[in-house]
Amino acid sequence: MPEEEGTRSESQGAGPATDPDADLLARLRQGDEDAFRTLVTEQGPFLMRLVMMHVPSRSIAEEVVGDTWLAVLNGLDRFEGRSTLRTWIASIALNKARTRGTREGRILPFALLRRRYEEGGGPALEPERFQGRRGERPGWWASPPVAWEDPESQLEANETRDVLLKAIRDLPPRQREVIALRDVSGWEADEVCNALDLSETNQRVLLHRARSKVRAALEEHLKPEPEGQPR
């Protein structure tokens, strides 16, 4: 359990020394264009990557990110510094991506079927991968994980990156948001909880489902050619 939740200090008492955002924030509020340019240059590419995992196309992502920055500017005076600046910006972006996703008529087919798995329901792997009650060793692998071929160079390849991105897009929204922030953006658990307003346990359950499914997608992609086929 995190002892303190990040930067919980309300703006009045917190000096610039304790809050890394304070200086930037003050300059932004004064209308300092360089400060805004710095923020956009630093956060822009990460924000684009984050949003692109949640909307169907690059052009829509650009719109969502643009809207996000406008919302950031208009919300600057109300921002209380209860989370870090980047956490706050990301949660605005994800909110906008969420609304946009709904408006675009849903990226995913089978949305209804998937909803079942939404908040952590459903197993990490299909039950058929394990031996049933009558098996020799119930609950042990029936169909064990397949070794990946040459994982290191494969994982670097563009094709594999596309598989990862597709696997992420196919996840239910909450799982997608958690894995995008935790594993792709490299955020700590408590920061993700903060941005998505999740409990630590819930965050972990969503992360677990998401990682399990992405691993399964990689397994499918990286497994050796089926037997009987010439190499």
Partner 1 sequence: MNRRDKRMLTCQEMVELVTDYLEGRLDDASHARFEEHVAECDACTLYIEQMRETIVALGHIPPESVSREAEEELLAAFRTWRGRTA
70 contacts partner 1 (rule: CB under 8 A): yes
In this chain, which of 22, 52, 171, 192 binds partner 1, going by CB under 8 A?
52
Q: How far is the CB of 24 from partner 1 (least distance, A)?
A: 14
Is 110 strand, coil or helix? Answer: coil
Sequence length of the chain is 231
C-alpha distances in angstroms, 118 versus 52, 89, 167, 175? 20, 24, 15, 7
Which stretch in 7-15, 91-99, 111-119, 176-184 sits in contact with partner 1 by CB under 8 A?
A: 176-184
Strand blocks (E) in the chain? none
C-beta of residue 206 within 8 angstroms of C-beta of residue 175: yes
| Cβ-based burial of 208 (10 A; exposed 0-12, middle 13-18, buried ≥19) | middle
179 contacts partner 1 (rule: CB under 8 A): yes
Q: How far is the CB of 230 from partner 1 (least distance, A)?
A: 26
Q: Please say which residue, 20 or 66, places its beta carbon nearer to partner 1.
A: 66
Backbone angles phi, psi at 141, to 5 degrees: -55, 135
In this chain, which of 13, 31, 105, 109 binds partner 1, going by CB under 8 A?
31
133 contacts partner 1 (rule: CB under 8 A): no
Residues contacting residue 144 through CB under 8 Å, at least 6 positions apart: 129
Residues in contact with partner 1 by the rule CB under 8 A: 31, 33, 36-37, 40-41, 44-46, 48-49, 52, 58, 61-62, 65-66, 69-70, 73-74, 123-125, 127, 130, 137-141, 144-145, 147-148, 151, 155-156, 160-161, 164-165, 179, 183-184, 186, 189, 204, 207-208, 211-212, 214-215, 218-219
